[in-house]
Chains A and B, each alone.
Chain A
Amino acid sequence: MSLLFEHYNYWVAIFLMMTGFYTVISRGNLVKQVVGLNIFQASVFIFYISLAYVDGGATPIVKEGVEVYANPLPHVLILTAIVVGIATTALGLALIVRIKEAYGTIEEDEIREADQRDGKDSDA
């Protein structure tokens, strides 16, 4: 039982990560896959920030009379990761816009079919 109280944050992070993972591998729509990747990513952020949490601690900004602070190092890593994440998301979304122009669809199944058709045409 104490395991539940001490580890629920990790398990919810894993659950969120797996929902993101499932969205990426089971859905063919590219926008939805990007949303799934972002859910996956945010779950890692929650995992890191919950590692940094200290019971009874304060936000790591110096204040009179406060002795215990949360661990600032994971906060820094996740700040960097959030900004890098938005950069890669923007690049992925730009690629989706170009794929829509080239193929007329953003469904992976249809893109694959179009590729196979083109392959046959060039063979013939």
Chain B
Amino acid sequence: MATAPRKTVSTGGAVVEHLIVVVLLALLASTAVAVIRLTNLFAVVMLFGIYSLLSASVFLVMNAGDVAFTEAAVGAGIATVLMLSTMALCAPREMPSRRNKPLRLLLVALTGAVLVWGTMDLPGFGDPSAPANQHVAPRYIQESPREIGIPNMVSSILASYRGFDTFGEVTVIFTAGLGVLMLLAGRRRKKGGEES
């Protein structure tokens, strides 16, 4: 008795979720087009921050809370700050490029057409019986609260089932951090040498 009304609520909710996703995706697409057209780099970087925040909202609507707050913090926050500081150190405007634009547009359109052709066989959006939702995912959903003992399945998989992936991720971040430090530390030393 209790499941019947919940089911109708959830299908109604699903329609609303789809509508919100459509609106957010349209906003994302227009932001991306505006990024191409603008030449003021400050506006481009700010629009990229908006783009990240919009994609975080899409993740939230698609029930990916952990991904949403990571994207909001890292994509909209840290990436925008890094890009702004690079822009401030380098150039505020973009020069017009002398590249052959129609040819590149054609290449992009062709690639996009091939990719759209590739989606024809994909399972529908939100399909619970899609192969991606079948293999190990049900096991993680059913067993991880008991096996790992924490309610958040994303954290269980990240830190336990796929701990080696996360270890690899940390290695990549460490290497990138070292690289940034070496690139920018050399810069400071050179400046100091010039001054003295």
Contacts and interface: CB of A to CB of B under 8 A. Distances in A.
B82 A93 contact: yes
Contacts of A78: 64, 67
A19 B130 CA distance: 28
B67 A86 contact: no
Contacts of A87: 172-173, 175-177
Given A72-B140, A90-B180, A23 B36 contact: yes
B157 A76 contact: yes
Interface of A: 2-3, 5-12, 14-23, 25-32, 34-36, 38-39, 42, 45-46, 49-63, 68-80, 82-91, 93-98, 100-101, 105-110
Contacts of B104: 22, 25-26
B44 to A, nearest CB: 6
Interface of B: 7, 10-11, 13-14, 18, 21-22, 25-26, 28-29, 32-33, 35-36, 41, 44-45, 48, 51-52, 55, 58-59, 62-67, 70-71, 74-75, 78-79, 82-83, 85-87, 89-91, 94-95, 97-99, 101, 104-105, 107-109, 111-112, 115-116, 119-120, 122, 124-128, 130, 132-133, 136-137, 140-141, 145, 151-154, 157-158, 162, 165-166, 169, 172-173, 175-177, 179-180, 183-184, 186-187, 190
Given A31-B83, A56-B11, A101-B187, A25 B108 contact: yes
Given A22-B104, A78-B67, A82-B75, A73 B48 contact: no
